[in-house]
Structure 1
Amino acid sequence: MTKLDLIVAKVRPLTERISEFTLQAADRGALPEWEAGAHIRVDVDGGDRAYSLIRFGAGDGGDYRIAVQREDDGAGGSRFMHGLKDGDRIVATPPKCDFPVVAGEAAVLLAGGIGITPIISMAAELQAAGVPFELHYAGRSREVMGFADDLSERFGDAVTVHCDDDESALDLAAVIGALGDRHLYICGPRGLIDAARSTAEAAGVPGARVHVELFDNASAAVEGDRPFEVEVASSGEVFTIPPGKSIIEVLEEGGMDLIHDCQRGDCGICQTDVISGEPDHRDVVLSDAERAEGKVMQICVSRAKSARLVLDL
């Protein structure tokens, strides 16, 4: 894939842990166009990381804007980004969108923490098209929430900021109970997504009207993770998946060519049929009923509760 050579035009601190980065083409040329919900993948120490593109409106121009929250106990991508300064060069993939807005249909936008970044562009696109929307932005307290003031200034009464430390804390049941026939877009940490999807499912909201993007490292090792085996049904090959590595990583190291994209468990492209064994689901794609059935899994993040999985690969 051809990558983009970018220069950091400006770094703007938003909170103690969140900074916004304005990026331009290193040759000062035009950057590829993109749609709301799109991201770029930036080369960082130890690999690459996906960051959603931000646009408040047509006046933002042709630069790219992203925001990164520093995670001191993370894998290092955010620390790399927070070490950048004006004038530094980086390399990134062209924009790609796995989290698009359904054109012309009213929406409720729900963001938690740094998950606000793709939601901003969605709100701007809906506003420009004259499509009704509500934006609910939740966080621990206003001082740690990037863009809270910018959102209220730009989108007015369409925005509600919910802070856990005061009476404005998010009431998921109320927000989803008032959804009606609108689409629900959710971006943020796993806890918010799981709770919102379960609430929507219990309320009878069709799955086709619930759209999610995860802003956690879903493939990170969890305390208590153990090695397990994956048998490839087509060849009989058996691979051992250790803690801290995904099924995709191990199988590709073993020479297999697999179809996947986000590697966060939210796009569904790597979904694979399970012939036998019990998956440990860690995605945000499957419904509670699909997880309980155990017939499919997302092999980029999910693991196994059984000693072996036999997969239809």
Structure 2
Amino acid sequence: MKVVVAGATGAIGRPLVAALRRSGHLVYALTRGGRGTELVRALGATPVVANVLDREALLRAADGLAADAVIHELTAYKHSPPTHYRSPGLRRTNTLRDIGSRHLVEFAKAVGASRYLTQSLILGYGLRDHGPEPVTELASFGRPQGDANDPFLAALHAAEDQAWQSGIEGIALRYGLFYGPGASATFTRALRLRMLPLPSSGTGSMGFIHIDDAAAATVAALDNGRAGQAYNIVDEEPVTWDAMLDAMAAAIGVRRPLRVPPRLLRLTTPLVTAQMLDLSIRVSNAKATSELGWKPAIPTYREGVRTLIS
């Protein structure tokens, strides 16, 4: 296939382009130009210069271009994941998931694409305790909670809605939290500097996915995913933040994170703290493994953190 990737130089974009090329796909990559053009070419993709938030420029970039699929992996987390609800990166990412998705669907139609895949997140099930039962794709998604998380949840819901209403084969990939080489740089740097404390009261469970497995699942969804479907892309075992970050610290040879009172974390990093304390979720990947012909090559964080060793 000829595939256009939006977000090709991001955390998942780089391994995704490599995985697409290994599978024999011809990859184009949207970039705003400048150094991005060089980075895209270094990945082995053909640059398409346009800003997805500029509808007219994006549609002009579609002139003369033909593609079979478009994959939306754009975020604005340039340096690190957001820690606060007022983070500019979070607000811009919400815009990319809402308005950017709308423009990308138009672009997909303009280039003649028959498939449109969008990045989503298991966090869209809600930042709360989901209990001990596995959460499947049938659970409510992107619904308001009546708190500061609502714009984030609404943006995830909007991204998926754009895929479903696109008029072409739309698929949403609800990824767990990425980790692995290139995807864990913020975590490992903070762990080395002792700047990633954890709440002293313990944390909830989360679904993680190694970045290489996330890329492989995306290629599998491109080839085998059913139109109008969402897929949970997580590994085989939920893990608490405590266990995950302690394991990362051990893998890179530094001390385990400090533990501090939760109230202090809520003041300084409220968004991350909400994910650590308010959210506990056990997500099922059964639908993805049965329908996509995909299975995590790295089944749990225990094997995955070893890839962080330099």
The two structures have a TM-score, normalised by structure 1, of: 0.32
Higher relative helix content: 2
Structure scoring higher RCO (CA < 8 A, sep ≥ 6) equals 2
Structure showing greater radius of gyration is 1
Higher relative strand content: 1
The two structures have a TM-score, normalised by structure 2, of: 0.32
